[in-house]
Chain A
Amino acid sequence: MALLIDKQKCSGCGACVEACPFEALSLADDKAQVNEACTLCGTCVDVCPEGALAVEEVTRAADDRAATSRGVWVFAEQRDGVLPEVVAELLGQGGRLAADLGVELSAVLLGHGVSGLAGELFALGAQTVYLADDPRLQYFNDDLYAEVLARLIALHGPEVLLAGATALGRSLIPRVATAAATGLTADCTGLAIDNQRRLLLQTRPAFGGNIMATIVCPLARPQMATVRPRVMKKAQRQEGASGRLVTMNLEAGLAAATQVLEMVRSLGEEVNLTAAEVVVVGGRGLGKPEGFDLVRHMAQELGGVVGATRGAVDAGWIGHAHQVGQTGRTIGPKLYIGLGVSGAVQHLVGMQSSEVIVAVNSDPNAPIFQVATYGIVGDLYSVAPAMLARLKELRG
């Protein structure tokens, strides 16, 4: 596998060098040359005016799954009998994809004593619910859940499978994709159908959010993706809708290798940043640990939770459980407020899908203003108290 450069055709114009997102191309003796950083993404092939570049065609073994697999599936994650919001989002997006493909939308539900959730999945648009209800599935163990899902896939052959990019989804789904011998795209923020080839176009940020990449899985099926929570539009509930329920029984020999001993919920420092509607984030601009009192106050007033940048966490002002960003949690609340946050790219990737972003920073050139819906240049210790005061005034 390699990038092929036709040195006869190459005019040395450098267009490919400019276009390469990975700095894998350079000019030597007025001809393009490629180095180890090349990921064979093909960006250069498209920009070359001379048609001198090509990615060596891959000869792949025939895979007849593309011809025989049909239907869009959503993995309906549940924890303790509760469906997280992302399931409604997946069914919303899954429904649109299924309509584009002209196929059915189904949900897969695994657990114990969860059959009651099937009705909710029908209401959210699932036409079929595949259910495995068994005491051995009461707790989430990757190996057994993956085994059951892989069997269902082998049995029914869906062409698309979506799951939430939650802690559970991101742990389980890679294992399922490997068991099913198919491709998987992580943490997608955009999904669409290429109707001509019945391909799922999966778009996600990469390189710490510096670039977006669209990825396809041309041959193997199902085409699998985990989807970032709070990005897709939720399905409209259809009260009383019904559908087909297909149950699967686990055979006697199956057992999980890992064993969940205890589930511990949101205690102390554990914050459910991912599910919060409002997140108020404090950065190093707070200047001191007590600055978080102001952040907490604002979060409380807005019914939100407290987030932090790595700068603030590293300063020891607040626990790492609050960190938002590449090495913290990814959030997408309705409202994000950043106080004294510079907006380093590692922070931005974790919050830029927020619906509304308010940034307060004394430096007019802070990169956070590039993504802010409302930007305020000023001292946060003047701006934030004024915000609180106005809120109090309006609430009377």
Chain B
Amino acid sequence: MKIIVCIKQVPDTAHVKLDPVTHTLKREGVASIINPFDLFALEAALRLREEAQGSIHVLSMGPPQAAEAIKEAIGYGVDEGLLLSDRAFAGADTWATTAALAAGVRMLGGADLVICGKQAVDGDTAQVGPGLAQRLGLPHVAFVKGWRECAADHLVVERQMDDGFDLVRLPLPGLMTVVREVGEPRPPSLKGKMRAKKYEVPLAGAAALGLGEAEVGLAGSFTQVVEVFAPPASGQRQMIEAPAEEAGRLVIDHLVRDQIIRLGS
């Protein structure tokens, strides 16, 4: 089974701080990490390779420093990587991102299975996986939390829904996006780390992918950000200043008064 995993390098949002005065993000010294959900995608790929043999390629679109994310993935034990990097890719929305990633998948000669994370923690869109599947003409299942069967021509996967889960047969070639439940990422191996150190990440720009400037980056995007602002402070806030027990009783009284809690049935 040939697997391509799409990974994105993102700022470690756990350490992004909001400047209380200017309401802008302070990213000074904030490390870049592999999108946490993509680590689950990598783990799923590694488990599938153990089950069905084959190879794993990682694909990423990003600035030159995203090569670090690919090297890190090599450390986890993937076989090869490819970084799509070009000034022209800047400002890409999910439509322009999937244009580049689809070209990247084709450059790698396609795959039996493409795996994406559920969503990237910087944009939180969860759109790239399903969009990429459509671009590649592949069926997809999103929010996969595990699989029951893994055969040469199909997988049977568990798809997380809001009210439970569905068991879905995904024919291959196909694409899936995965959630945390597929498995905790293993630590990188020593052997992998050694290989990562020396690994030279192959690079491809728009021209090499056969993409024109109008198809990628901001120029190739349908959506535009027109405003960025601080989240509004939420409505009336009230600290209940009283000793613990008294405060507990008071808050219930407030909630009953506000008709948030109903006493009758």
A37 to B127, CA, bound (A): 21
Q: How far is the CB of A19 from chain B (nearest CB, A)?
A: 7
- Mask: chain A, 34-50; 1 = CB below 8 Å from B; 0 = not: 00111111110000000
Q: How far is the CB of B86 from chain A (nearest CB, A)?
A: 10
User: B162 is contacted by which of A166, A205, A369 (Cβ under 8 Å)?
Assistant: A166
A40-B91 contact given A216-B224, A263-B164, CB 8 Å threshold: yes
* Residue A266 interfacial (CB < 8 Å): yes
Interface size, chain A (Cβ < 8 Å):
119
Q: Which residue of B lies closest to A379 (CB)?
A: B244
Kindly specify which of A4-12, A115-123, A380-388 makes contact with the partner chain. Answer: A380-388
A79 to B22, CA, bound (A): 45
User: A61 is contacted by which of B180, B214, B248, B252 (Cβ under 8 Å)?
Assistant: B214
Interface contact A327-B37, CB-CB below 8 Å: yes
Q: Which residue of A lies closest to B171 (CB)?
A: A257
Q: How far is the CB of B228 from chain A (nearest CB, A)?
A: 5
Interface contact A142-B228, CB-CB below 8 Å: no
A183-B258 contact given A143-B140, A264-B166, CB 8 Å threshold: no
Residues of B within 8 A of A206 (CB): 122-124, 228
Main secondary structure of the interface of B (DSSP, over half): mixed
* Residue A334 interfacial (CB < 8 Å): yes
* Residue A184 interfacial (CB < 8 Å): yes
Residues of A within 8 A of B133 (CB): 142, 175
* Residue A153 interfacial (CB < 8 Å): no
Interface contact B139-A257, CB-CB below 8 Å: yes
Interface contact A262-B167, CB-CB below 8 Å: yes
* Residue B141 interfacial (CB < 8 Å): yes
Residue contacts A-B, CB under 8 angstroms, 8 given: A22-B25, A36-B90, A41-B225, A142-B139, A216-B224, A358-B255, A373-B237, A376-B248
Q: Give the 10 A-B CB pairs with smallest separation, nearest first.
A: A386-B248, A183-B222, A378-B244, A171-B142, A257-B139, A382-B244, A183-B223, A174-B127, A40-B91, A178-B134
**Residues of A at under 8 Å CB distance from B?**
1-2, 18-23, 36-43, 55, 58-61, 79, 84, 139-143, 146, 166-168, 170-175, 177-179, 181-187, 201, 205-220, 256-267, 270, 272, 274-275, 302, 320, 326-327, 334-335, 344-346, 349, 352, 355-358, 360, 369-379, 382-387, 389-391, 394-395
